[in-house]
Amino acid sequence: MNVCSVFKLNLFAGKVAIVTGGGTGIGATITQELAHLGCDVVIASRSEEKLRHAAEKFNSNPKLTGKVSYIPCNVRKEDQVKNLMHTVVKQFGKIDFLVNNSGGQFFCPAEEISKKGWNAVIDTNLTGTFLCCQHAFQSWMGENGGTIVNIIANMWRGFPVFCHTGAARSAVDNLTKTLALEWADKGIRINSVAPGTIYSETAAANYPRDIFSEAIKLQPTGRLGGPEEISGIVCFLLSPAAAFLTGETVKVDGAESLYKCLLQIPMHNQLPAWKWDKSKL
Ligand SMILES: CCCCCCC/C=C/C(=O)SCCNC(=O)CCNC(=O)[C@H](O)C(C)(C)COP(=O)(O)OP(=O)(O)OC[C@H]1O[C@@H](n2cnc3c(N)ncnc32)[C@H](O)[C@@H]1OP(=O)(O)O
Ligand SMILES: NC(=O)C1=CN([C@@H]2O[C@H](COP(=O)(O)OP(=O)(O)OC[C@H]3O[C@@H](n4cnc5c(N)ncnc54)[C@H](OP(=O)(O)O)[C@@H]3O)[C@@H](O)[C@H]2O)C=CC1
């Protein structure tokens, strides 16, 4: 990829970042922009093969001056999250930045989601993010400070056919506010980014229906977002330009959250009005 950033080269020279899900899609773009700006980046997700392949590709790009390494980690498994944080501190001496980007869900009406499926999505998107924050704190940031960015989603008006992830991401939005307060005096800033619909091949491959094409008509911009449009905001939030910004969620959605919804509700008469008509009591 021909990496190109609006930020100055070496902005993050000497910094160390962890990007979960950093081998694919949005996470891969964040990783490349950070490394292009001089940051050493550790990418972490379940598939060692995906991680190895991504790290080899990134490290062969002369435009990336930071080094990219990888540690397999399922964010749903606390022992693996703990190992990730300890290993990074051992190998690099610190953790300056944590980008909680790993996540996912499946398209399913609420009434059909199994408990196992619900738990899988909550564990990945909410508990996984919490565990990464908590163990980054315990391993390094609690004593030394740091900056965290969580990737969430456009769930502001509910998230029909994705209620599990809507609930999890909404909780991460709230977690972001709480941790910004609890950890301010430890020198930790934490913010979230809520992307709209962002096309990447890996993201699209997860869905049987072509929801990314369907979503174009829901966009005030007339187009989907690109991973670079998320990455730039993440770099801004990690940078000193955002030194007074914490506990906030930045919507990066081209105003999708102000506009239409994927769900079409048919005309119906299932929610009749209440009228003061004693015969109905
Ligand atoms: C305008 C709006 C447009 C919306 C655009 C979309 C916006 C969002 C885009 C993105 O987020 S793109 C990134 C997407 N990437 C992913 O989703 C990848 C990661 N996803 C997953 O890994 C899974 O979906 C997972 C469930 C979160 C985790 O999977 P895991 O491998 O751990 O578990 P599984 O064994 O696969 O499943 C566990 C359990 O979950 C239920 N389940 C899984 N898939 C489905 C499905 N398609 N339909 C119904 N239920 C499903 C099921 O109960 C599984 O258990 P078993 O039945 O297999 O025993
Ligand atoms: N694309 C979009 O339109 C939107 C995306 N998002 C969110 O942005 C983030 C990145 O998505 P995107 O790049 O589009 O899609 P991808 O599918 O490319 O990225 C998801 C990443 O999460 C990793 N992952 C999934 N489950 C786990 C787990 N249990 N432990 C560790 N890593 C895990 C995957 O790697 P591996 O399989 O190796 O574990 C993969 O690298 C996700 O949180 C996504 O939900 C939010 C809103 C919209």
Residue bearing the CA closest to ligand 2, atom 34: 21
Structure tokens at 217: 């008509």
Find out whether the beta carbon of 1 lies less than 6 Å from any atom of ligand 1: no
Our mutation pick for probing the ligand 2 site, out of 45, 126, 193, 253, counting the most ligand atoms within 8 A of Cβ, is 45
Our mutation pick for probing the ligand 1 site, out of 20, 75, 106, counting the most ligand atoms within 8 A of Cβ, is 106
Our mutation pick for probing the ligand 2 site, out of 20, 26, 129, 256, counting the most ligand atoms within 8 A of Cβ, is 26
Closest-lying ligand 2 atom to the alpha carbon of residue 51: 38
CB 37 within 8 A of CB 209: no
Per DSSP (E only), the strands in the chain are 16-20, 40-44, 68-70, 97-100, 146-151, 188-195, 249-252
**Per-domain residue ranges for the chain?**
16-280
- Would you say the ipTM is above 0.90? yes
Under CATH, domain 16-280 is a member of which superfamily?
NAD(P)-binding Rossmann-like Domain (3.40.50.720)
Structure tokens at 74: 């399922």
Spatial CA neighbour of 262 closest among 197, 193, 203: 197
255 CA to centre of ligand 2 in angstroms: 22
111 CA to centre of ligand 1 in angstroms: 16
Ligand that comes closest to the CA of residue 195 = 2
Spatial CA neighbour of 160 closest among 231, 277, 274, 262: 262
Beta strands 249-252 and 40-44 are unpaired
Query: What confidence tens digit (pLDDT) does each residue in 3-24 have?
Result: 999 999 999 999 999 999 999 9
Average pLDDT across the chain, whole number: 96
Residue bearing the CA closest to ligand 2, atom 47: 153
How many Cβ atoms are within 10 Å of 235's Cβ, its own excluded? 25
Helices 163-182 and 128-136 pack at an angle, to 10 degrees, of: 20
Q: Judge whether residue 278 has pLDDT over 90.
A: no
Nearby residues of 116 by Cβ (< 8 Å), 6 or more positions away? none
Nearby residues of 278 by Cβ (< 8 Å), 6 or more positions away? none
Could you give the CA distance from residue 6 to residue 163 in angstroms, rounded to a whole number?
Answer: 36
Structure tokens at 150: 């969580």
How would residue 210 be classed by pLDDT, with cut points 50, 70 and 90?
A: confident
Query: What confidence tens digit (pLDDT) does each residue in 141-181 have?
Result: 999 999 999 999 999 999 999 999 999 999 999 999 999 99
Average of per-residue pLDDT across 73-81: 99
